[in-house]
Amino acid sequence: MRCLIQRVVEAAVDVDAERVGAIGSGLLVFVGFEKDDDSGRIKRMGERLLGYRAFSDNEDRMNRSIRDVAGDLLLVSQFTLAADTKKGTRPSFSSAAEPAAARGFFDDFVTLIKAQHEGHIATGRFGANMQVSLINDGPVTFLLET
């Protein structure tokens, strides 16, 4: 499981010119699942995501988590995060979870995050062609893996 997180001032996701999710200050999280993912990895990623210190404290050091700042979260499924890009000029998706399994994993991940975070949480639409807009804050971008 991989999450590409970006600290944002704001972010939104549209599908077919319809806004399906939007947040203010917080994290835009692209979520990708691999074949060997399971509920344990989903739980571990939830803990990492909510506890990851990507926000500045009073001394301008990244010592505060999304929980600490009560920030918003925009969760967007993105199977391309499971791509193998180590060789050649075309990505391989052989390690990506099958769509049905990934949909279940994504739904479970969203449910877990909603149960553990009090801030505003929005999502994209699983499997849709989404247009994502954001204003990156920093820029700050991290790749979390389990």
Active-site residues, by number, are 78-80
Say if residues 75 and 110 touch (Cβ distance below 8 Å). Answer: yes
Total Cβ atoms within 10 A of residue 95 = 13
DSSP states of 40-89: HHHHHHHHHHHH-EEEE-TTS-EEEEHHHHT-EEEEEE-GGGG-B-SSSS
- Helix pair angle (99-116, 39-51), 10° resolution: 40
Q: Beta strand pairing status for 131-145 and 121-123?
A: unpaired
DSSP state of 98: P
